[in-house]
Structure 1
Amino acid sequence: MSDLKALKQEILQLTRRYSQEAHAAFRPGADPERSPWQPGSPIPYAGRVFTENEVEAAVGATLDFWLTLGSEGAAMEKELAAFMGVRHSLLVNSGSSANLVAISALTSHKLPDARRIKPGDEVITVAAGFPTTVAPIVQVGAIPVFIDADPLTGNARCDQLEAAYSPGKTKAVMMAHALGNPFDLSITLAFCRKYDLWLVEDNCDALGCSYSMPRAMAEGLGFSENSPGLDEGPDRVIRWTGTWGDISTQSFYPPHHLTMGEGGAVNIVRDQKLKVVAESFRDWGRDCWCPSGIDNTCNKRFDWQLGELPAGYDHKYTYSHLGFNLKPLDPQAAIGRVQIRRLPEFIEARKINWQILRTGLDACSDSLEFALPTHATAWNTDGSFEWDDTGCRSECSWFGFKIAVKENAKFSRTDLARELDANQIGNRMLFGGNLLRQPAFVQLKHDRPEALRLATSMEGSDEIMNSTLFLGTFPGLTEAMLQAEIDVINKFATA
């Protein structure tokens, strides 16, 4: 056995050496051991950022060869929940799967009947964004009710929530924090409390963002404690996004704030029952909660009688939901555990990179409009913001640097995107733009007009679709890469 341990240690040492030489371009942008970016080389909008530590963790877990979710997964779930300050985190194989599990959990017969989402019930969402925030609503038989988006923040027009409400039919609100910018949680939470609705936060692009409000307001909404590591003094409550709602989701695909390659998580903020049903939907719909490879933790494996099964039927093969199999692999979780330890530096790097771009592109403000955090009214040249009079604040761990081409510009958003492409600068639209104009949703409206509902007109979502793109802010960007982006855009916009 000692020989095996020594052999494994030798393999891991060689793995670290290999990764140090082979993966230098993937180190954080501020890492002195990162290979320098060469002018004229591509600048991606996002990508995986790692060192030999992640590679060693992946190889070590693979050598152990417990491939399905196991001890690494259990440890990562606890570490993620501890970082966020939620009751539980459940790992899944993608952020899209996380959204599917989250909304499916709210359909469970184990929840109070009056709050359970049933076929034909309505879930309020926003028209501009990523399709798999909305698709799971349709997939569970509910009706998405769309409100418009604010072109400045990219987020939902939360002042339109009342217009979307249907007494007896609306059961939940499910929306994303767009590009790492929190949506207006004060309005949304007050709305959900008023009508006893679930709030599902799609936090896939916003891990490490925070939202704060005056303590009296927060306590009126049911919150008195800060998230771990956050504090704005005794008169305020500050929490991570993904911890204000009932349930939230994360994506760990490479462009996101941490990566497992593929992966995601469902965060159960407070309610233990939601953990039980979400885990059931993730794990085939089974009623048993034993981890893979472990049996009879309830000491009643052959003592249950559920459904119309005979008494004593194996609880391991008893299914209380029509579930899925959406777990990631244990070696992925081993990578994720190293990435969690990097989160503070990754969060800070995204903020710094956003400010570098904002400062460097300020001269283009006549033709380009740049995002503001929710509740901010202006950006100052020292990097601070002016704020509205609500008393609420948002702190963004930016997923991207959002740019909108103004109507008076001599060029279009497509012209700008082509110029960026010609200079190998990665850029993206704000995902699906106005989702209602995407082929899948046009076909859905054609085939089943009753399958969705528009609560308002969608001018803001159309404006996002027509005028907006974003650049990367990920922690793999170097100052030289950011300056190259600034130079290209300044030259193009002022030509």
Structure 2
Amino acid sequence: MFYELAVSTWGEEEIAALHRVIESGRFTMGENVARFEADFARYFGMKHAVMVNSGSSANLAAVAALCHKAERPLQRGDEVIVPAISWATTYHPLQQYGLKLKFVDVDIDTLNMDVKQLERALTPKTRMLVAVSILGNPCALDVMRAFCDKHGLYFLEDNCESMDAEVAGRKTGTFGHLNTYSFFFSHHISTMEGGMVLTDDEELAHLCRAIRAHGWVRDLPTDTKLYQRKANDRYQAYRFILPGYNLRPLEMSGAVGIEQLKKLPGMTAARRKNMALFQKLFAGDERFIIQKEHGTSSCFSFTIILNPKLGPDRDYIFQALEKADIGYRVITGGNFLRHDAIKYYDYDVVGGSCPNADIAHDYGLFVGNHPFDIAAQITRLHEVLDRAWNESTQKR
């Protein structure tokens, strides 16, 4: 394909890392996972990192940990404020733990949660706010954390799409009580499959470690406060203290993660260079609403919304992209309220509807951004969209 949605970012370093693990004969999580966790926590300036087998699992472990805290755990029926646009597994763990979702519309320019509606979303039952920075563009994390601190709420930051972005002088994925990351094939770094939970809270870190591996104690330090050790218990290594899962990553994924993390600053710089060209070509064109950068974006991809006020022929324009061999897809998961799975949820919609999320769902798309020069692809994208819009207008 001329312009791919996603490409591999691996080189000979990642392949060599895989071979080292194969030669060691140790495939389940071990010293490579532990080293990657330590490197990752250090890079983002956090105390604890817990690697799991996907970003979705990171969200699951994080929500589960908050439901098992010794003090003020989340409970069934508690309310959680969430954005209308995100990936499905931002929401699913919340539903699975019996929480009620309060959906807030997005800002049409940034595609992130409209923080002007936070106070309106708040009720006596609100216990948590979930932040999602869409496709590399930081949301108002400083405003959100201040809101949570003011009202005594937990703050969960789903940073699966925005690794290495920055806002208010800090990296995204460091503002929450818990922060989650994804290392899927198309993301900022890739470990085949994989994810991470970051936190400065020791109890939450220990809970995530237990939940990651069956709810047992084997991966916990001896001084943990989660349980009392028993003297001379021959089954101590197989003691289960929580209803957990098997979310463990592979040792190969940890080894690859070590190498990918070394490359992250350079890959982010390349993505931002591509973004500068994209912004230059599309800025000021009222036909195409592009994502307004907030803070410093790590530019996962390029979003484009066909301005519905100008009556675009959406199908004609999308078909033109396909004919030009340009890959595209819906922005993240679109408006989650429009998906069949919503029938299983207990939820409310702040203001009764999410018109901006609907516009992004119906008229939006994103194309890929890669950590190398794609000037030719971006230029071609602009040419195709410009011509397709003009042709569709002339046919009316």
Q: Does TM, scored on the shorter chain, surpass 0.5?
A: yes
Larger radius of gyration: 1
CA RMSD, aligned part only?
A: 2.1
What amino acid is aligned across from residue 460 of structure 1 in structure 2? N
Counterpart in the other structure of 1:15 = none
Distance 1:492 1:359 in 2: 19
Distance 2:240 2:315 in 1: 50
C-alpha change, 1:51 and 1:67, in structure 2 (3 Å) is same
| Aligned residues of 1:49 and 1:476 also touching (Cα < 8 A) | no
| Aligned residues of 1:304 and 1:311 also touching (Cα < 8 A) | no
Matched, 1:111 2:70: yes
Matched, 1:351 2:272: yes
Matched, 1:253 2:217: no
Deviations 1:317-341 (A, max 9, x none): 2222111111110011111111000
| Aligned residues of 2:209 and 2:220 also touching (Cα < 8 A) | no
Distance 1:460 1:311 in 2: 61
| Aligned residues of 1:91 and 1:327 also touching (Cα < 8 A) | yes
- From 144, 165, 185, the equivalent of 1:188 is 144
Counterpart in the other structure of 2:254 = 333
Distance 2:60 2:373 in 1: 32
Shift of 1:358: 1.8
| Aligned residues of 1:412 and 1:467 also touching (Cα < 8 A) | no
* Count of aligned positions: 388
| Aligned residues of 1:128 and 1:432 also touching (Cα < 8 A) | yes
Distance 2:30 2:229 in 1: 26
Describe how 1:233-382 pairs up with structure 2 within 5 A.
238-268=169-199, 270-290=200-220, 304-305=229-230, 312=233, 314-362=235-283, 365-374=285-294
Describe how 1:26-425 pairs up with structure 2 within 5 A.
41-108=1-68, 110-112=69-71, 115-167=72-124, 169-212=125-168, 238-268=169-199, 270-290=200-220, 304-305=229-230, 312=233, 314-362=235-283, 365-374=285-294, 394-409=295-310, 411-425=312-326
What 5-or-longer segments of structure 1 have no aligned partner?
Answer: 1-40, 213-237, 292-296, 375-393, 446-450
Deviations 1:128-180 (A, max 9, x none): 1211111110011111111111121110111111122121x211111210111
Distance 1:361 1:160 in 2: 29
C-alpha change, 1:251 and 1:413, in structure 2 (3 Å) is farther
Matched, 1:464 2:360: yes
Relative to structure 2, which stretch is displaced further, 99-108 or 184-193? 184-193
| Aligned residues of 2:316 and 2:388 also touching (Cα < 8 A) | no
Q: Secondary structure at the match of 1:106?
A: helix
C-alpha change, 1:65 and 1:290, in structure 2 (3 Å) is farther
Once the two structures are aligned, what percentage of the paired residues are identical?
Answer: 31
Distance 2:234 2:23 in 1: 36
| Aligned residues of 2:142 and 2:175 also touching (Cα < 8 A) | no
TM-score by length of 2: 0.93
What amino acid is aligned across from residue 153 of structure 1 in structure 2? T
Distance 1:259 1:428 in 2: 20
Deviations 1:18-39 (A, max 9, x none): xxxxxxxxxxxxxxxxxxxxxx
Distance 1:326 1:186 in 2: 30
| Aligned residues of 1:361 and 1:489 also touching (Cα < 8 A) | no
Counterpart in the other structure of 2:374 = 478
Shift of 1:206: 0.5
Distance 1:480 1:287 in 2: 53
Q: Secondary structure at the match of 1:395?
A: coil
Distance 1:433 1:426 in 2: 17
